[in-house]
Structure 1
Amino acid sequence: MTESQQAAITKPIEVSFEFFPPKTEKMQENLWTCVKRLAPLAPSFVSVTYGAGGSTRERTHDIVTSITRDFGIPAAAHLTCVAATREEVNAVAQEYWDAGIRHLVALRGDPPDGETDYLPHPGGYAYAADLIEGLKAVADFEISVAAYPEVHPQALSARDDLDNLKRKIDAGATRAITQYFFDADTYRRFVDRAQAAGIGVPIVPGILPVTNFSQVVKFSRACGTTVPAWLRDRFEGLDDDPRTRELVAATTAAELCEDLQKDGVRNFHFYTLNRADLTYAICHILGVRPQRPAAA
């Protein structure tokens, strides 16, 4: 272990959480139950996703501002390039700034529902790097971006994908959050390549607790994440055993985080899927717990 790794291990772990805008009243109840459960862990920030084509713009705005106002947690709003002009995107960004939101997650975004190919809006920002430049012109936002340890599925090559990440950082992004992965070596190799390419911002590992294995396989196929055979073996036969599945899921994700901790990684971003218990359990294992009142 290097001296820098030993020094990093003494630093406290910081966590952040991602939520998504609910579509129904029941899902909305689940979201706020999740936020209330995780808030005592004092995340460094939480982020709220943006539906394809900007379909959840108002809900995302309401959730972000409510979390910041009601829970005192810095909240970041996702913003994309899809289906909007530059003026429309800038106006949304200005609304966030006026509401006290200082952190955005800038993404190219997925095509609107029913479409398979991404086409830049004729009057909009073409790609995430362009979006970041525009957002920084609106106000001095803190900006996080996405990174793909196993290459974005639409990238021409691993090198092209890394060059795109570099463009986003050069445009003003201050943090990269990775797509989820299941092997620590995947993250290690990616960070080594990114640093060799001159990328010096923090690269925060994105962690997805597996709640539904078949759904994760479907997600992973779409985003280019490898589902290793050992993970499939762990969840085999648990489709009708949710309690055991949750125990296995928490253990598996905690093991991944603990493996990365050995390298000095102290920041983790959890894709909660608006479910709190698994993420809470993993954080507990990692030593991230609610602060207890000081003894009288």
Structure 2
Amino acid sequence: MSKPAFSFEFFPAKTEQGHEKLLSTYDELNKLSPAYFSVTYGAGGSTRSRTLDIVQALCARGNTDIAPHMSCIGDDKAQIAELLEHYKSLGIKRLVALRGDLPSGQVGMGELPFALDLVKFIREHSGDHFHIEVASYPEMHPQARSFESDVDNLVNKYQAGANASITQFFYNADSYLYLRDTLEKRGIDTVAQPLVAGIMPITNSSNLMRFADSCGADIPRYVRKQLADFGDDSKAIREFGFDVVYRLCERLIAEGVPAMHFYSMNKVEPNKRLVEALGLTS
């Protein structure tokens, strides 16, 4: 059985100290030989400038592919085109294309209101220069009308030129497998256009619950109860969380998952521990 590829997500640090720490984290995780690192991108100028800064720093720091997130809502085509050209000048060949959230106080949706529009525009502007990842939701996007309409949207993004999709994090392997099988039935070859499993290590109970509630990800009842029972015992939470995520990844690997994308939270551990324990680097 071939080993799945793996990659890591970073978010831009808000301080100079955080920026330096992120570069150190990159150095450590890069030793594991991931396929790429993605860098998140938020609404608003300050967040975007931080994204550009860290993308440029990481490109100069190593040879591993960097995949900047691009969001489109509220932006016009000229802004997106300018950013695409900038990324080309840095040697970027991967992008994560997302709708994003409408900036606070802004009313209009912009010229490219949905991720599907962004994928189409990137292909029109840059042809096949970029490998495009999009988002997918094993437990359904929280704003979707139905699971079927959510699948329709994902299929449309693949057909518009997305090379792969990265799932929202999940802890129920069956939700991932059901989405994968549904895509296959809809004519998407999930080997040629992979469904990459998004993996969120568990290190902090309150943060996990907040993330899950904001993006519609389900935390299994036994996980919620066990985390609640641990209270402030951070060591017990980390060990329990490692076991939960390790067993999830083992199941996915047994089911032939093509790749896993770790939401690193800008930390070396437990991402390094998981990758090594799963034997992905050997």
Tell me the TM-score normalised to structure 2 length.
Answer: 0.93
Which position in structure 1 is the counterpart of 2:133? Answer: 144
Of stretches 140-149 and 258-267 in structure 1, the one that deviates more from structure 2 is 258-267
Which position in structure 2 is the counterpart of 1:23? Answer: 14
Which position in structure 2 is the counterpart of 1:269? Answer: 261
SS of equivalent to 1:41: coil
Which position in structure 2 is the counterpart of 1:160? Answer: 149
Which position in structure 2 is the counterpart of 1:259? Answer: 251
* Identity score, percent: 38
Whether 1:186 aligns to 2:175 is yes
Whether 1:173 aligns to 2:165 is no
Distance change >3 Å, CA 266–CA 141, structure 1 → 2: closer
Of stretches 61-70 and 85-94 in structure 1, the one that deviates more from structure 2 is 61-70
Q: CA deviation at 1:229?
A: 0.8
Unaligned residue ranges in structure 1 (runs of 5+): 1-8, 292-296
Q: 2:115 aligns with which of 128, 132, 139?
A: 128
Equivalent pair of 1:207/1:270 in contact (CA under 8 Å): yes
Aligned partner of 1:73: which letter? T
Moved over 4 A (4+): none
SS of equivalent to 1:106: strand
CA distance in 2, matches of 1:47, 1:54: 19
Distance change >3 Å, CA 250–CA 63, structure 1 → 2: same
Equivalent pair of 1:182/1:226 in contact (CA under 8 Å): yes
CA distance in 2, matches of 1:196, 1:120: 33
Aligned partner of 1:151: which letter? M
Distance change >3 Å, CA 259–CA 238, structure 1 → 2: same
Unaligned residue ranges in structure 2 (runs of 5+): none
Equivalent pair of 2:195/2:258 in contact (CA under 8 Å): no
Which position in structure 1 is the counterpart of 2:30? Answer: 39
Aligned partner of 1:38: which letter? L
Distance change >3 Å, CA 100–CA 232, structure 1 → 2: same
Q: CA deviation at 1:236?
A: 2.8
Whether 1:195 aligns to 2:187 is no
SS of equivalent to 2:229: coil
Of stretches 42-51 and 19-28 in structure 1, the one that deviates more from structure 2 is 19-28
Tell me the TM-score normalised to structure 1 length.
Answer: 0.88
Aligned partner of 2:240: which letter? V
Q: CA deviation at 1:114?
A: 6.2
Q: CA deviation at 1:119?
A: 4.9
